[in-house]
Chain A
Amino acid sequence: MSDVEFIETTKVYDDGTVALDSLSLRVRKGEFLVLLGPSGCGKSTALRLLAGLEDITRGEIRIGGSRVNDLPPGARGLGMVFQSYALYPHMTVRANLAFGLRRNRGDTRVSEAEISARVEEATELLDLRKVLEKKPRELSGGQQQRVAIGRALVRRPKVLLMDEPLSNLDARLRNRMRFELRRLHEAHGTTTLYVTHDQVEAMTLADRVAIISEGRLQQSSRPLEAYNRPANSFVASFLGTPAMNLIEGAAERGVFTAGELSFALPEHLAGWTGPGIFGVRPEDVRIGESGDVRCRVGGVEHLGSDSIYHLDAGGNWIRALWHRSGGGAAGSDGEEHRDVRVDLAVPSALIFKE
């Protein structure tokens, strides 16, 4: 049972900044968990605390049921892939892969035969045969990335940590490596903690996603669930492109009012009374002749397969995503300043307290 548990883990820096505020989170064995959040939200801190690169201020971290707060990084049975890869520049790829295994002494000592067997295995898995005797600086970004993953995996870690591993690659390579990472995870099944600020990576890679903002865990659930049922308006706006429409206002007797905008809430939200934030995803906003909200097209961004409409509804800006397979009266040029009607009271609409 080598799962990871954060128990009210808190990190306060010397200058008083609270980087992580009593995080409680459990990662199950074999799970691919993505820590997602904007930069500076504390997600990397959580990873570094787990790795032992920084000291825990309060709380506890357990790996496989035992407390690791005071264990040195090398003793925690982790493998880590750094954002900059951090390959040893003075060693060949082979030496980079074997370095960690050679450091094991005493009972945990790994025999030379075992070392070459494991290096061989990683070479096969990550297709590193051609670069095995080269130095890191002779490698392309994608190759360096694969070596970094290999170096983490040869140690047979209980938990694999990845800190924004794809952010140094160009867009095309990033897409390929993303798929590759998922495939790798399915092949070796190591419990993985993956830090990123990229929601696409989170949505595609994660078994479960933990969204963090300002040092606090906002929601931890399966990616689609976080998308469909966000716990609060932060999660709602952070997941999804274009971002969810959030309208601040108040509801009374089934009618939601925000400035000049006023419309009837959908059935499932009709019971809401008092102030709230009404949220509806752009792709759920239908532009048409009917609908009970009248608005004016302020601008359109054509992306090819989709078009994003920016609609002015009584001083509130609403984004609507139109997809060409959806049909309807949209998708051509020259639509600015037209008056249209939209229906906001859709079944997927949400309302948040904050």
Chain B
Amino acid sequence: MTVSARNGMGGGQATVTLAERWYVPAEVRALRAWIPFALLVNLIILGGEALRGGGTAQLAVLGGIVLLAVLWWSLPDGRQQWRRTASQGLAAAILVLGVLLLLLKDGDFYDLWASSWLIAPSALALYWLSTGLSGSWCAGDSDPRSAELGLARNRRLGPRLETFALHTLLLHAVALIVAPAVWIVDLSISPGNILGGAIGDAFTLEHFWAVLGGETFWRWTRNSLIVALGTTLVGLLLAIPAGYAFSRYRFAGRKGAMFVFMLIQMFPGIVILVPYFMVMKTLGLLNTSIGLIIAYSVTALPLCVWMLKGFFDAVPRALEEAALLDGCTQVGVFVFVVLPLSLPAVAITALFSFLTAWNEFLLALVFNTSNDSYTLPVGLASMIPATGQLWGDFAAASIIVSIPVVVLFVLFQRALIQGLSAGSVKG
């Protein structure tokens, strides 16, 4: 206020207040930030159109991209009148192209989405450039008073526009992740064992009954459970004492051993596949759960030990000393104090071991030659080529297999978050 009043008295045409110099409507700022992003998305759409054998639609998108680029360059700066006129014209042209694109296609969900990336930006630009405070700023009529009001308005409007943009972005990210899941769910509830067809056009549970009714699926599940739970148990029984020892004791070869643990982690699994197979064959452990449990435990162990060591490190030594003075033995200290405090870490380690074993495919494929000893991933894979196409059954089975994983994650969610932010234990 005072600034503008003083300038008013000075009466000089050339003096521009601070507010005037800094004021750009939040809407225009948003357009400057969003149009490049819209350009990027349209480029991706253009690629899609080209792959689908484009034609007119492809040309419409290409035109839209060019116009968007020009629009971005010509966005008003609050002084030059021609910029506003040009931008309005460009936005209108893009809007027309977008509508054209929509009419050219059959109007399914994808087409609606693709054309909205031309329609929405151009409509917003047209609206913001023509009306309200931002419209008059674009036209070049601004005075100190309205600039100050505009700055105040920006503080309210800016964050809202940001939130809107962020949510648009997040929606796209979620769609990317959810789309495959939707697809496979649709496959599992569509009649017939074929790929294709629109989403949600029919509903049947025949695939689920087929999978759950078959004896082999239950045998595979049993095998997988034995292997996964066995791996978890063996992994924990070995990793917990090892992690504790690495964390608390200084012994000869400690550093070397820890380095070797890291080293093992660096080998790609495929390199040790053949040696593994020969060892298992010699030991007669092919087609057994024990063979897989041993192999998986060895694979999962280094990471488990390192994770647990990190967590044990965060348990203050004074706590252990207090427990010693309270009459605990070294084992007692571990059982009564260290372990209860490290439960989140133990939970993660368990989950990690379980998932490693539950999802693993390659070793299970090589070690198991008989259908009876398959684990679920191998069994599932065997459904694909077996009798030609069993896509529906396959989809149903893979959904069933994912359920334990999802359930485990939901159950352990709290422990996971705690465990991942290690060092949360305070004295």
Chain A residues within 8 Å of B, Cβ to Cβ: 51-53, 72-75, 78-80, 82-90, 99-100, 103-104, 137, 151, 155
B426 in contact with A86 (CB, 8 Å): no
Interfacial chain A residues near B321, Cβ < 8 Å: 51, 53, 73, 80, 82, 86
Within 8 A of A (CB), among B100-128: none
Residue of B nearest to A54 (CB): B321
| Shortest Cβ gap from A174 to chain B (Å) | 19
B328 in contact with A84 (CB, 8 Å): no
Bitwise, B332-347 to A at CB < 8 A (1) or not (0) is 1000110011000000
A80 in contact with B322 (CB, 8 Å): yes
What CA separation (Å) do A78 and B337 show in the bound complex? 19
Known A72-B329, A103-B332, A137-B426; contact A88-B324, beta-carbon cutoff 8 A: no
A-B CB contact pairs (8 Å), 10 listed: A74-B326, A74-B327, A74-B328, A75-B327, A78-B325, A80-B322, A82-B321, A86-B427, A88-B322, A104-B327
What CA separation (Å) do A155 and B332 show in the bound complex? 18
What CA separation (Å) do A103 and B427 show in the bound complex? 21
Interfacial chain B residues near A85, Cβ < 8 Å: 427
B425 in contact with A89 (CB, 8 Å): yes
Known A89-B426, A90-B341, A137-B426; contact A84-B325, beta-carbon cutoff 8 A: no
| Shortest Cβ gap from B427 to chain A (Å) | 5
Decide if B316 is an interface residue (CB 8 Å cutoff).
yes
A73 in contact with B325 (CB, 8 Å): yes
A100 in contact with B327 (CB, 8 Å): yes
Interfacial chain B residues near A104, Cβ < 8 Å: 327
B427 in contact with A87 (CB, 8 Å): yes
A51 in contact with B325 (CB, 8 Å): yes
What CA separation (Å) do A74 and B332 show in the bound complex? 11
B328 in contact with A82 (CB, 8 Å): no
A89 in contact with B341 (CB, 8 Å): yes
Decide if B260 is an interface residue (CB 8 Å cutoff).
no
Total number of B residues with any Cβ neighbor in A under 8 Å: 20
Residue of B nearest to A161 (CB): B325
A-B residue pair count with CB separations less than 8 angstroms: 67
B324 in contact with A84 (CB, 8 Å): no
What CA separation (Å) do A88 and B321 show in the bound complex? 11
Residue of B nearest to A52 (CB): B324
The B contact surface, by secondary structure, is: helix
Decide if B198 is an interface residue (CB 8 Å cutoff).
no
**What 12 additional pairs, Cβ within 8 angstroms, besides A99-B326, A100-B326, A103-B328?**
A51-B321, A53-B321, A72-B324, A75-B327, A82-B318, A86-B319, A86-B427, A88-B322, A88-B337, A89-B341, A100-B325, A155-B326
Chain B residues within 8 Å of A, Cβ to Cβ: 316, 318-319, 321-329, 332, 336-337, 340-341, 425-427
What CA separation (Å) do A85 and B426 show in the bound complex? 11
What CA separation (Å) do A251 and B319 show in the bound complex? 55
| Shortest Cβ gap from A85 to chain B (Å) | 7
Interfacial chain A residues near B329, Cβ < 8 Å: 72, 74
What CA separation (Å) do A74 and B327 show in the bound complex? 4
What CA separation (Å) do A83 and B283 show in the bound complex? 56
A80 in contact with B325 (CB, 8 Å): yes
| Interchain residue pairs A-B with the least CB separation, the first 4 | A74-B327, A100-B326, A103-B327, A86-B318
B332 in contact with A84 (CB, 8 Å): no
Interfacial chain B residues near A82, Cβ < 8 Å: 318, 321-322
What CA separation (Å) do A89 and B322 show in the bound complex? 12
Interfacial chain B residues near A137, Cβ < 8 Å: 426
What CA separation (Å) do A87 and B319 show in the bound complex? 7
| Shortest Cβ gap from A117 to chain B (Å) | 18
Interfacial chain A residues near B337, Cβ < 8 Å: 88
B316 in contact with A84 (CB, 8 Å): yes
Residue of A nearest to B340 (CB): A90
Partner of B324, one of A73, A89, A151: A73
What CA separation (Å) do A90 and B425 show in the bound complex? 9
Interfacial chain B residues near A53, Cβ < 8 Å: 321, 324-325
Partner of B319, one of A72, A88, A100: A88
Interfacial chain A residues near B319, Cβ < 8 Å: 86, 88-89
A84 in contact with B341 (CB, 8 Å): no
| Shortest Cβ gap from A84 to chain B (Å) | 5
What CA separation (Å) do A73 and B323 show in the bound complex? 9
Interfacial chain A residues near B323, Cβ < 8 Å: 88, 99
What CA separation (Å) do A100 and B328 show in the bound complex? 8
Interfacial chain A residues near B425, Cβ < 8 Å: 89
B427 in contact with A84 (CB, 8 Å): yes
What CA separation (Å) do A63 and B276 show in the bound complex? 59
Interfacial chain B residues near A100, Cβ < 8 Å: 325-327
What CA separation (Å) do A78 and B318 show in the bound complex? 15
B316 in contact with A86 (CB, 8 Å): yes
Residue of A nearest to B337 (CB): A88
Interfacial chain B residues near A87, Cβ < 8 Å: 322, 427
Interfacial chain A residues near B332, Cβ < 8 Å: 103
